[in-house]
Amino acid sequence: MSNTDYKFEGWGAFGPDSIEGKFKWFEYEPKEFADDDLDEVDSRRPTVPVKILYCGMCATDLHMASAGWFDMSAFYPLVVGHEIVGEVVRAGPMVEGGLKVGDIVGIGAQSDSCLKCARCREHKEEYCDEGQIGTYAAIYKRTSPGSKSRGGYANYWRGPSHFVVPIPSNLDPAAAAPMLCGGVTVFSPLIKYGAGTTAKDVGVIGIGGLGHFALLFAKAMGAEVTAISHSQRKVEDAKAMGATKFITTHGHVDDAIKGHERSLDLIICTTSDPNMPLSDYLRLLRPGGTFVMVGAPEVDAMPELHPFFFILNNVHLTGSAIGSPARICEMLQFAGDHNVRPWIKRFPLNEVNKAVPSMHAGEARYRYVLVNEDNGGKL
Ligand SMILES: NC(=O)c1ccc[n+]([C@@H]2O[C@H](COP(=O)([O-])OP(=O)(O)OC[C@H]3O[C@@H](n4cnc5c(N)ncnc54)[C@H](OP(=O)(O)O)[C@@H]3O)[C@@H](O)[C@H]2O)c1
Ligand SMILES: [Zn+2]
Ligand SMILES: [Zn+2]
């Protein structure tokens, strides 16, 4: 057992078929509690153990549990979940940000980085030169080298305090949970590419967990928002989230795009559709516009694009990964200030095997949040 009086237990994905409703509850060894190694300044930042109250369910959890992107055999049994809200239950004297026992805190999709490279020093830890340490399915290097990271479909979480943020008291902690990955992944490029300022017209492709956050945030930033979905099913919801235009791409994409060409300054693409009509989407951008890929379909390659398309239209194609702890804090503050309210549905933690297949079937409207009632989470 670890050096605590509580056990780390959670729902494990034991193989790719776990997402069919086959997660199993098990006990595991958490990350070693980081000690005060005086040779290495960074390793003097103790890890923070957190009693988990809520954990949002991100599509990445499903891609990873089912080995849709990568071979996961080295990581099974895998404890996924990286939209964690909980209560600090132990904090050493070196924790960052003044975190203390009893604080309600959040952890997103990244839980460590080198903290030394230029990217880390300028608060872009998500682009660390040594790579991100994911909140699950990674091996810690900086502290507790060799320990596996484990996520939030569990009762406790432990990890470096640098990646733990306080949850502001004006936010519902259950609703804040999915912001920690899904929210910040779209908030970050919306801010970076000027939604509502230099980018007046913003399009959002894929109205799922991330997409619904993109609509809510872009609207709150003052942009005119277009929702782009593969079906008509979400049109009313998208309007309620602030979209004023709706494009349905199912069927004849050409017809769908007609009249909307060169109407957008910024597109946030969240879809997981492996057959997305990328070149048609790019036609929606004005010259100088930016297309940001955040959705990550389970495919090996992107569709082919002709160089002249870029030359003659001067559009930018880029991607964006999650957001740094500083960006997460900025987003939580923005969400509180602008009363951004995510559309969530709560499931008891012990209903993981109901919630995951339902999410996999595309039924979430728009984010599922697991609630650990034993630890004090509220259904
Ligand atoms: N870049 C990052 O750092 C980052 C962070 C978090 C998540 N992600 C990735 O972002 C993607 C979206 O995550 P999410 O949690 O928002 O997922 P989600 O809730 O499942 O939403 C995905 C949306 O994509 C659209 N879609 C169209 N065709 C699809 C298909 N064949 N399969 C699945 N979805 C399809 C759907 O919207 P419509 O019905 O409106 O078409 C669906 O609601 C995932 O690939 C996830 O891994 C990336
Ligand atoms: Zn995520
Ligand atoms: Zn770094």
- 56 membership: H or E segment, kind and range: strand 47-56
Say if CB 255 and CB 192 are below 8 A apart.
no
Q: Could you report the per-residue pLDDT of 191-250, keeping only the tens digit for each?
A: 999 999 999 999 999 999 999 999 999 999 999 999 999 999 999 999 999 999 999 998
Cβ–ligand 1 distance for 231 under 6 Å, the answer yes
**In this structure, are strands 201-205 and 264-269 parallel, antiparallel, or unpaired?**
parallel
Q: How would residue 260 be classed by pLDDT, with cut points 50, 70 and 90?
A: very high
C-alpha 228/C-alpha 248 separation (Å) is 6
Q: How far apart are the first and last CA of the chain?
A: 31
Co-location of 16 and 160 in the same domain: yes
Confidence grade of residue 4 (pLDDT, cut at 50, 70, 90): low
Pick the ligand that lies closest to the CA of residue 249.
1
Token reading at 223: 């942009």
Query: How many whole angstroms from its chain centre is CA 109?
Result: 6
**Same domain membership, residue 300 and residue 339:** no
- pLDDT bucket at 45, cuts 50 / 70 / 90: low
Please report how many Cα atoms fall inside a 13 Å half-sphere around the Cα of residue 188, on the Cβ side: 27
**Does the beta carbon of 342 lie inside 6 Å of ligand 1?**
no
CA distance 322 to 299: 20
Residue 364 in contact with ligand 1 by CB distance below 6 A: yes
Cα 260 to chain center, whole Å? 29
With the most atoms of ligand 1 within 8 angstroms of its CB, the residue from 57, 234, 271 to mutate is 271
186 & 176 share domain = no
Q: Please say which residue of 286, 304, 319 terminates a domain.
A: 319
- Cα–chain center distance at 106: 12
Looking at the chain, the whole-number percentage of residues with pLDDT higher than 70 is 95
Residue 34 included in any domain: yes
Q: Please identify, among 319, 346, 361, the residue that sits at the C-terminal boundary of a domain.
A: 319
Contact in structure between 151 and 55 (CB atoms under 8 Å): yes
Residue 55, domain extent: 9-181+323-375
Mean pLDDT of all residues in the chain? 92
Q: Is residue 1 in some structural domain?
A: no
Residue 37 has pLDDT above 60, yes or no: no
Per the CB < 8 A criterion, the answer to whether 262 and 287 are in contact is: yes
283 within some domain: yes
Question: Which is higher by pLDDT, 7 or 135?
Answer: 135
> Measured on CA atoms in the order 93, 94, 97, 100, is the torsion positive or negative?
negative
Q: Which two tokens stand for residue 195?
A: 């939604």
Calpha distance 309→264 (Å, rounded): 16
